[in-house]
Amino acid sequence: MQRRKFISAALAGAGGIGAATSFPAPAIAQSMPAVNWRMASSFPKSLDTIFGVSERIARRVEEATDGKFKIRVFAAGEIVPGLQVLDAVQSGTVECGHSAGGYYAGKDPTFGFDGNIPFGMNARQQTAWLLFGGGQEQMRDLYKEYNIINFMAGNTGAQMGGWFRKELKTPEDLKGIKFRIGGFGGPVMTKLGVIPQMIPGGDVYISLEKGTIDGAEWIGPYDDEKLGFYKIAKYYYYPAWWEGCAQLSLFCNIASFNKLPKVYQAILEAACHEGQMWMTAKYDAQNPAALRRLVAAGAQLRPFSRSIMDAAFKAANELYAELSAKNPRFKKVYETWLPYRDEQILWWSVAEHSFESYMIAATSARSGKR
Amino acid sequence: MQRRKFISAALAGAGGIGAATSFPAPAIAQSMPAVNWRMASSFPKSLDTIFGVSERIARRVEEATDGKFKIRVFAAGEIVPGLQVLDAVQSGTVECGHSAGGYYAGKDPTFGFDGNIPFGMNARQQTAWLLFGGGQEQMRDLYKEYNIINFMAGNTGAQMGGWFRKELKTPEDLKGIKFRIGGFGGPVMTKLGVIPQMIPGGDVYISLEKGTIDGAEWIGPYDDEKLGFYKIAKYYYYPAWWEGCAQLSLFCNIASFNKLPKVYQAILEAACHEGQMWMTAKYDAQNPAALRRLVAAGAQLRPFSRSIMDAAFKAANELYAELSAKNPRFKKVYETWLPYRDEQILWWSVAEHSFESYMIAATSARSGKR
């Protein structure tokens, strides 16, 4: 009885009198259980911005739950190969994964609309489509068949078109070129006569050096600089018309997600949404200085010519017509995605693009630096 | 004793055996205290996107804390006049406020760098500067003198240049025009011979109708449509060179913020960062259809001429030189902000702008709609 008395008194002291009669403390404890998840990333740690956002999401979840909900992040290959993250989340091998829908276009090309499709939207437009244009609902219908619920979790912004050993002036110059390219750009390149090569990032430099490939695209100045392509393929083309943005997503196993308390679900979603903003900002912050260093080191900046862009645009539209004929789901999404993209671009051309165009003209004229 | 026994048993059942000996439940309860805050917004409810983001931040905080941290949002004028939000947070009348730094340029023009300055950065560049370019640190040094810690909390993107009854072709056409404009654009307009008028949104239509003013700027198609300016001033100019983006912020009273448990601080920051992404996406989603409706209703879209843009750019640079001479803090921030902006724009002109320019050209040619 003495011990019981002590326990009761101690509980009353720690949790307040109410704790012993209405049990609010245990109720809160139940709503904040210890949860440990593993996140498989499709990316190596060396991509410190893309990998960084997954770590940041995990850290935010942990600090917002007082350490109760922990997510341990694993780089590509540590527990799951980079391109099998969707499969690992689908099977429940890991509770979640950080990846890009476009990597799974081989399973269903509809994954490309998750922000990894040639001549798609820019990062802001993609975000608008996902959140407010019905995009997320359409993508979730698809991911659901893989036992996954997806959350936007980072975007690179428009990427660079890659490194070539020779200048490219017309679509003819693309024919027969062996070009390292990932994702949905490959099939469009094939239509242009390019021989696309899917080579992991770590092997690209040596392939270029040996002449196994004639060119390689990666991401943008900040990441490209680290791989050193400028030393052996100095023509640096822009833009990556196949990645006007590249959307990253957190894939959660649906059963695992549904087991989370609602509070944790809300925190995880908020952390992913914060990551969407954070990753683009980090790239925007890092790319300008990296571009300057690359140009100083000898990179020759070149825009793709209008004739190459037009040929690629035509090839992409042909591919989408073919995919629509074969795949009813692709067709269904494409038919709402396409007018949404075009309306976004029409509005973009007014305030945003005219402002940016003026700023480009005015600041280059003033400083005389371009 | 029977009653004690019952209580102990019930507690053991609810919180687990450990609850009675190591007290984890009360410890959690202490870290999740009930907190009630009030947020004063500078905006009316009718601006449902800008006001909406403040409500969304409050809702996210509430659901992420299981209802323990509640923030009640008040529209402009409900408890604090719209342009006195900074003062109310400074004095602790409210724990936090949702506002724009630019509104307080009269106290110190340095507030303009918080994303409300003519010929500033676009929304993404501004976010990069705040998070990774030292911008937030510099702004926090300023806000700290007003007992405030600030968090980015929404951005409109590039705004429209406003509605005029007459066409404007050269800088001469601006002279003597009475133009409703808020914020930092006013002093630049003055240098161009415009007579800036600060009129609250609700009174602008009648001022235009009566001829008290010759033109008015507001935000963008979605918000402008609701005020009906197209009926009486049909020339709709773009872009708002004075608002290439407009950054919104959550102002928190520092003492109130410091009293929050670390978990709540993390959740509040994450909710604001999510809001930064969410608000721009919502505007991006709403503006295209609103622009179409405005044009269908008779609005005449006009870009500001290059000569007007150049005159305004020159006037803004003169103003910044004058402010730098008078205000050492302004000078200090300007000297790091300016090269950061220019480097952002230089990089932007490569991948992002070339991609967007092509998409504008290709989609307008394809659909023949422009």
* Cβ separation A31–B349 shorter than 8 A: no
pLDDT digits (tens, 9 = 90+) for B48-83: 999 999 999 999 999 999 999 999 999 999 999 999
Q: Supply the pLDDT for residue A122.
A: 98
Closest CA to B42 of B183, B178, B180: B183
Say if B333 falls within a structural domain: no
pLDDT digits (tens, 9 = 90+) for A63-100: 999 999 999 999 999 999 999 999 999 999 999 999 99
CB atoms within 10 A of CB A143: 24
Nearest-CA distance B81 → chain A (Å): 30
Helix axes B2-15, A2-15, angle to 10 degrees: 60
How far is Cα B36 from Cα A198, in angstroms, rounded to an integer? 55
**Whether pLDDT at A8 is above 60:** no
Half-sphere exposure of B243 (CA within 13 A, CB side): 28
Look up residue B167 and give its two tokens: 């066409």
Say if B90 falls within a structural domain: yes
CB atoms within 10 A of CB B2: 6
Residues 263-322 of chain A with CB under 8 A from chain B are 263, 266-267, 270-271, 273-274, 276-278, 280-282, 284-289, 291-292, 301, 303, 309-310, 313
Q: Supply the pLDDT for residue A123.
A: 98
How distant, in Å, are the alpha carbons of A282, A351, A357, B44, B272 from that of A248?
Answer: 14, 27, 28, 35, 21
Say if A164 falls within a structural domain: no
Say if B317 falls within a structural domain: no
Under the banding of pLDDT at 50, 70 and 90, the label for residue B6 is very low
How distant, in Å, are the alpha carbons of A217, A234, B288 from that of A296?
Answer: 20, 12, 41
**Whether pLDDT at A11 is above 50:** no
Q: Supply the pLDDT for residue A52.
A: 98
For an interface test with B, the pick among A59, A68, A350 (most B C-beta atoms closer than 10 Å) comes out as: A350
* Cβ separation A127–B262 shorter than 8 A: no
**Whether pLDDT at A174 is above 50:** yes
Q: Tokens 């009129």 belong to which residue?
A: B199
| Cβ-Cβ contacts under 8 Å for A314 (sequence gap 6 or more) | none
According to DSSP, the residues that pair with A69 across neighbouring strands are A35
3-class SS at B72?
strand
**Whether pLDDT at A366 is above 80:** no
For an interface test with B, the pick among A156, A224, A287, A356 (most B C-beta atoms closer than 10 Å) comes out as: A356
Closest CA to A132 of B44, B369, B278, B174: B278
Mean pLDDT, range A153-173, rounded to an integer? 98
Report percent pLDDT > 70 for chain A.
Answer: 90
A54 neighbors A100 (Cβ within 8 angstroms): no
Q: Supply the pLDDT for residue B198.
A: 86
pLDDT digits (tens, 9 = 90+) for B238-278: 999 999 999 999 999 999 999 999 999 999 999 999 999 99
Give the least confident one: A235-249, B192-206, B208-222. Answer: B192-206
Q: Provide the domain count of chain A.
A: 1
Mean pLDDT, range A102-108, rounded to an integer? 94
How far is Cα B197 from Cα B194, in angstroms, rounded to an integer? 9
Chain B positions in Cβ-Cβ contact with residue A271 (cut-off 8 Å): 270
pLDDT digits (tens, 9 = 90+) for B145-203: 999 999 999 999 999 999 999 999 999 999 999 999 988 999 999 999 999 998 877 88
Q: Supply the pLDDT for residue B367.
A: 55
**Whether pLDDT at B7 is above 60:** no
Report percent pLDDT > 90 for chain B.
Answer: 87
- Strand bridging mode B300-303 / B195-197: unpaired
**Whether pLDDT at A325 is above 80:** yes
* Cβ separation B285–A131 shorter than 8 A: yes
* Cβ separation B284–A343 shorter than 8 A: no
Instruction: Give me chain A's average pLDDT, please.
Output: 91
**Whether pLDDT at A211 is above 80:** yes
Say if B295 falls within a structural domain: no
How far is Cα A112 from Cα A104, in angstroms, rounded to an integer? 8
According to DSSP, the residues that pair with B235 across neighbouring strands are B164, B300
Give the least confident one: A150-154, A191-195, A198-202. Answer: A198-202
Mean pLDDT, range A349-370, rounded to an integer? 85
Which 3-state string (H, E, C) describes chain A?
Answer: CHHHHHHHHHHHHHHCHHHHHHCHHHHHHHHCCCEEEEEEECCCCCCCCHHHHHHHHHHHHHHHCCCCEEEEEECCCCCCCHHHHHHHHHHCCCCEEEECHHHHCCCCHHHHHCCCCCCCCCHHHHHHHHHHCCHHHHHHHHHHCCCEEEEEEEECCCCCCEEECCCCCCHHHHCCCEEECCCCHHHHHHHCCCEEECCCHHHHHHHHHHCCCCEECCCCHHHHHHHCHHHCCCEEEECCCCCCCCEEEEEEEHHHHHHCCHHHHHHHHHHHHHHHHHHHHHHHHHHHHHHHHHHHCCCEEEECCHHHHHHHHHHHHHHHHHHHHHCHHHHHHHHHHHHHHHHHHHHHCCHHHHHHHHHHHHHHHHHCCC
How far is Cα B277 from Cα B66, in angstroms, rounded to an integer? 23
Please tell me if residue B132 touches chain A, with a CB cutoff of 8 Å: yes
* Among candidates B63, B123, B356 on the partner chain, residue whose Cβ is nearest the Cβ of A266: B63
Q: Supply the pLDDT for residue A202.
A: 81
Rounded to two decimals, the pTM is: 0.92
B41 neighbors A38 (Cβ within 8 angstroms): no
Range of the structural domain that residue B151 is part of: 32-156+245-285
Nearest-CA distance B359 → chain A (Å): 7
Residues 176-215 of chain A with CB under 8 A from chain B are none
ipTM of the complex: 0.91
3-class SS at B71?
strand
Mean pLDDT, range A147-158, rounded to an integer? 98
Q: What is the CATH number of the domain that holds A58?
A: 3.40.190.170
* Among candidates A63, A345, A369 on the partner chain, residue whose Cβ is nearest the Cβ of B363: A345
* Cβ separation A127–B281 shorter than 8 A: yes
Q: Which residue of B has its CA nearest to A122?
A: B356
Give the least confident one: A4-18, A27-41, A218-232, B63-77. Answer: A4-18
| Cβ-Cβ contacts under 8 Å for B106 (sequence gap 6 or more) | none
| Cβ-Cβ contacts under 8 Å for B306 (sequence gap 6 or more) | none
B37 neighbors B27 (Cβ within 8 angstroms): no
According to DSSP, the residues that pair with B229 across neighbouring strands are none
**Whether pLDDT at A19 is above 80:** no
Closest CA to B98 of B65, B53, B142, B61: B53
Say if A15 falls within a structural domain: no
A336 neighbors A343 (Cβ within 8 angstroms): no
* Cβ separation A347–B241 shorter than 8 A: no
Q: Supply the pLDDT for residue A113.
A: 98
* Cβ separation A310–B362 shorter than 8 A: yes
* Among candidates B11, B119, B363 on the partner chain, residue whose Cβ is nearest the Cβ of A359: B119
Name the strand (E) or helix (H) holding B278.
Answer: helix B262-296
**Whether pLDDT at A29 is above 70:** no
- Sheet (strand A96-99) strand order: A69-74, A35-41, A96-99, A247-253, A148-155
Say if B49 falls within a structural domain: yes
Instruction: Give me chain B's average pLDDT, please.
Output: 91
Higher pLDDT among residues B30 and A281, named by residue: A281
**Whether pLDDT at A241 is above 80:** yes
Chain A positions in Cβ-Cβ contact with residue B364 (cut-off 8 Å): 346, 349
Under the banding of pLDDT at 50, 70 and 90, the label for residue A183 is confident
How far is Cα B311 from Cα B34, in angstroms, rounded to an integer? 55
* Among candidates B287, B301, B351 on the partner chain, residue whose Cβ is nearest the Cβ of A160: B351
Q: Supply the pLDDT for residue B364.
A: 86
A157 neighbors B352 (Cβ within 8 angstroms): yes
* Cβ separation A362–B309 shorter than 8 A: yes
For an interface test with A, the pick among B121, B263, B350, B366 (most A C-beta atoms closer than 10 Å) comes out as: B350
**Whether pLDDT at A255 is above 80:** yes
Mean pLDDT, range A284-308, rounded to an integer? 98
Count chain A–chain B contacts defined by CB atoms under 8 A. 315
Residues 52-81 of chain B with CB under 8 A from chain A are 60, 63-66
Under the banding of pLDDT at 50, 70 and 90, the label for residue A26 is very low
| Cβ-Cβ contacts under 8 Å for A366 (sequence gap 6 or more) | none
**Whether pLDDT at A158 is above 50:** yes
Say if B177 falls within a structural domain: no
* Cβ separation B263–A349 shorter than 8 A: no
* Cβ separation A263–B343 shorter than 8 A: no
**Whether pLDDT at B315 is above 50:** yes
Half-sphere exposure of A35 (CA within 13 A, CB side): 27
* Cβ separation B157–A351 shorter than 8 A: yes
B77 neighbors B42 (Cβ within 8 angstroms): no
Nearest-CA distance A128 → chain B (Å): 4
* Among candidates B127, B157, B285 on the partner chain, residue whose Cβ is nearest the Cβ of A277: B127
Chain B positions in Cβ-Cβ contact with residue A218 (cut-off 8 Å): none
B188 neighbors B118 (Cβ within 8 angstroms): yes
**Whether pLDDT at A143 is above 70:** yes
